[in-house]
Chains A and B, each alone.
Chain A
Amino acid sequence: MKILVALKRVADPDNANKIRIVAGGEKVDTGNLEWKLNPFDEYALEAALRLTEDGKAPKQRLGEVVAVTLGPKEAETNLRSALATGADRAIRVEAQDEQLDGHLVALALRKLVEEERPDLVLMGKQAVDGDTNQVGQILAELLDYPMATFAATIEEEAQGLRVSREVDGGVCVVRLKFPAVVTVDLRIVAPASVYSQKTDRAFKYNDGVRFAPLPAIMQAKKKKLDVKTLADLVVNTPLRTRYRKFAPPATRRAGAKVKSVAELVDKLANEAKVI
């Protein structure tokens, strides 16, 4: 199986409360926050690796995983770590975040898919900076591919996948035939979430994503990382989503500590009047 994984680097989501809105509101300043791989994309990469191996013998790669990002030169750090973790090749499309919106990312990815012809495009359900949750769906429609968003489990079948999706109220199971687009949700990195046809269903992965061993980090420097320009992939496409201004959210102040359950009930009834 050949898989294209789309990866985006984002400002450290665990410190998202440290971002500042530049005076006048024209920009969000992520200041000195570290850049991290979007967590959902880390999960998508892990899912891609699981789908291209026998879980018991992960060293032997059974397919090809191509990691792609649209971003500045610095994003190559994230691609290198994807290569160290097990991706075979990487492609960076030179772009500054301000030059991109979901539509443009999807257009560029479409072109890459047409060039690379993967069986599957794996991506995160949402980039946790913009929180838009759109690129996978747009890409699937542009390609006229079937899709499964919010994937919690993926099982490889002959010529396709069986995917369970986390939806409101429960779990929806769909079958897809290749080529297809899948966007992953949090639970995709649980121990029994992803099975290639080679992996025994009794096999359990470690919870979470794998880490690159040191020698792999060295070897990753030798793996192929191509750089393309946005113009190679999409011509003359202006942004469709334009942010005119930004504003901070209303702040919420800490209230009071209560000393007992009795005091809590009293406050809820007589002060807040919610019970």
Chain B
Amino acid sequence: MSEVLVVAELSDGSVRKTTHSSIRAARKINELSGGTFSILVLGGPAAKDAAQQLVGYGAARVLVCADATLTHYLAERYAPVVAAAAPGFDVLLATASSYGKDLMPRVAARLDAAYAADCSDVSLEAGQLTLKRPMYAGNAYGFCTLSTTQQVVSVRQSEFEPAEPSGGKSAVADVALAAPGGAAERVEFVSLDQVKSERPELAEARVVVSGGRALKEDFFKVLEPLADSLGAAIGASRAACDAGYAPGDFQVGQTGKVVAPELYLAIGISGAIQHIAGMKSSRIIVAINKDAEAPIFQIADYGLVADLFQAVPELVTALKARKA
């Protein structure tokens, strides 16, 4: 039996889709070893409403800690609450977004529990929960077990389809705010600067258009019309982010976001190991690059050797013509 606690993620007071990937993973653990899952929602006063968005997913309980001191996420304040809600649960689970990566190891340490990061699958081997993890930029999978009775896990969003509602209505219960440690006294939230966009989120999009160093200052000028015509999210290589052509959180790769859309277009991206690690699970990969030897072509389903500054506008025109 595995009782699982999913730690939900909120953004601006509503539930992020990352949470639904964790729910999928929790259901899978329950299928493997029995038990139920619950969901813990933490946040400011708005968390109460957010919890209502999660009552239809088959959780035994939806636990809420809504408190003004949790309005802005800080691991130093969230980890104590998660740890206080943990008794009775065997597995604590979140998605390895920047939130999950920041919070869950801290939760694990607080519980003196072992942690497995960014897992792409869960299985049962000889009765033990076994976590599959991509390592070495996705060039090996490790299958690990954790030795502590309570276990903390984060899962890779792109490997767990968001859970669909399953009907029913979970009971909602409040959990008390736990007193934070001294660390919370010495950290202060200053600001969260988020660019609001009409586009789908990178990690959730059905189509992703990514650009590399080659785009230079015309990054958005060239890619936006293409993304618009495909309803795509925009991503970037590290080189494009480092150079300031695209914001840092657009970065796709081993050390950026991992995406697995239906369609991924790599525009003026060479295809370094670190980039490939973040997009090679995409169903269809298209590469446009003027260098026929660029490594990206080794994993692309369709490669076009061309100058992107000509090919991309041409592609936009062709896509528009199809729609018309």
- How far apart are the CA atoms of A254 and B300 in the complex, in Å? 6
Nearest B residue (CB) for A172: B192
- How far apart are the CA atoms of A128 and B192 in the complex, in Å? 27
Interface of B is mostly: mixed
- Mask for A168-179, Cβ within 8 A of B = 1, else 0? 111111111110
With A14-B273, A177-B186 known as contacts, the answer to whether A170 contacts B195 (CB < 8 A) is: yes
Does the CB pair A103–B117 fall under 8 Å? no
Does the CB pair A186–B238 fall under 8 Å? yes
List A34-49 residues whose CB lies under 8 Å from chain B.
40
Asked whether any CB of chain B lies closer than 8 Å to the CB of A261, the reply is yes
Asked whether any CB of chain A lies closer than 8 Å to the CB of B44, the reply is no
Does the CB pair B98–A244 fall under 8 Å? no
- How far apart are the CA atoms of A234 and B181 in the complex, in Å? 23
Residues of A within 8 A of B280 (CB): 249, 252
Residues of A within 8 A of B140 (CB): 19, 21, 28, 246-249
Give the interface size bracket for A toward B: 35 or more
Give the number of chain B interface residues (Cβ < 8 Å): 96
> Which of B79, B136, B137, B242 has most chain A Cβ within 10 Å?
B136
- How far apart are the CA atoms of A187 and B130 in the complex, in Å? 34
Q: Which of B63-71, B103-111, B211-219 touches A?
A: B103-111
Does the CB pair A144–B182 fall under 8 Å? yes
With A16-B139, A247-B143, A268-B302 known as contacts, the answer to whether A141 contacts B106 (CB < 8 A) is: yes
List A232-249 residues whose CB lies under 8 Å from chain B.
238-249
Residues of B within 8 A of A252 (CB): 280, 285, 299
List B80-135 residues whose CB lies under 8 Å from chain A.
97-99, 101-106, 108-110, 114-118, 125, 130, 133-135
Q: Which of A52-60, A78-86, A131-139 touches B?
A: A131-139
Does the CB pair B315–A145 fall under 8 Å? no
Residues of B within 8 A of A75 (CB): none
Does the CB pair B11–A128 fall under 8 Å? no
Does the CB pair A249–B138 fall under 8 Å? yes
With A241-B114, A244-B144, A256-B301 known, 13 other A-B pairs at CB within 8 A are: A28-B136, A103-B109, A103-B115, A133-B101, A169-B201, A171-B248, A172-B189, A172-B192, A174-B74, A248-B141, A249-B139, A257-B303, A257-B305
Q: Which residues of B contact A (CB under 8 A)?
A: 11, 74-76, 79, 97-99, 101-106, 108-110, 114-118, 125, 130, 133-148, 181-195, 201, 203, 207, 230, 238, 241-242, 247-249, 251, 254-255, 257, 262-263, 272-274, 280, 283-286, 292, 297-306, 311, 314-315, 318-319, 322
Q: Which residues of A contact B (CB under 8 A)?
A: 11, 13-17, 19, 21, 28, 40, 102-103, 106, 125-126, 128-135, 137-142, 144-150, 152, 160, 162, 165-178, 180, 185-187, 190, 238-249, 252, 254-258, 260-262, 264-265, 267-269, 272, 274-275
